[in-house]
Structure 1
Amino acid sequence: MFIIFLRFSEHRAKAAELMAAHNAWLSRGFDAGLFLLAGSLQPNAGGAILAQGTDRVMIEALVAEDPFVAEGVVTAEIHEISPGRVDARLAFLKG
């Protein structure tokens, strides 16, 4: 499982022109069953994604395809987590 932080860089002004492409990239991740959650980092600092079902190499390649990453709008931090303890409602994450 991975938590991906997409933090705005000094090029954040380009975000508006790339938003449709970024949202299409997110949709592909959800459609592939890799992304479980995506949302904004507050206050207006970027975004975060919870992903599962693949290895780090594939996640790194997928993140590199994000137009925000490719165009330097955000910097990506990928953190791998091995869930040890989860609430029963999220037991599927322990997989």
Structure 2
Amino acid sequence: MYVVLLEYIKPLAEVDYALPEHVDWLNKQYEAGRFLASGRQVPRVGGVIIVRPMPRGRLDALLATDPFAQQKLARYRVVEFEATRTAPELAKVNEAVST
């Protein structure tokens, strides 16, 4: 699994202008079953996305399609981890990794 940390590198006014496109992109990733959770950091300096397991190259290619990346509004830090314990709601994610 991955935790993706977005850091805004442009003013919030520019980020807000691209936000509807970014939300559409997020929605497509949820519909495809790729993302588990996402939201703004507090304070609002960027965002966080929790991503299901996938090859790292695939994730990098996917992040490159984010309007925030394409418009150079954010930089991304990807943290990969192996979930060894999860809440019952996430048990299926953990099972998918081990099969």
Unmatched tracts of structure 1, length 5 or more: none
CA RMSD, 1 decimal: 1.5
Q: More displaced, 51-60 or 12-21?
A: 12-21
> Alpha carbons of 1:71 and 1:11: their partners in 2 closer, same or farther (altered >3 Å)?
farther
Partner of 1:85: 85
Q: Tell me the matched-pair count.
A: 95
Report the TM-score when normalising by structure 1: 0.89
- The alignment-based identity, stated in percent, is 27
> Alpha-carbon deviation of 1:58?
0.8
> Alpha-carbon deviation of 1:11?
4.4
* Contact 1:4/1:76 (8 A) holds in 2: yes
CA deviation vs aligned residue, 1:24-46 (integer Å, no higher than 9, x gap)? 11011101000010111111111
Alignment of 1:36-51 (within 5 A): 36-51=36-51
* Contact 1:12/1:74 (8 A) holds in 2: no
Report the TM-score when normalising by structure 2: 0.86
CA deviation vs aligned residue, 1:23-78 (integer Å, no higher than 9, x gap)? 11101110100001011111111110111142111110111110111111111111
Unmatched tracts of structure 2, length 5 or more: none
CA distance in 1, matches of 2:48, 2:11: 18
Partner of 2:54: 54
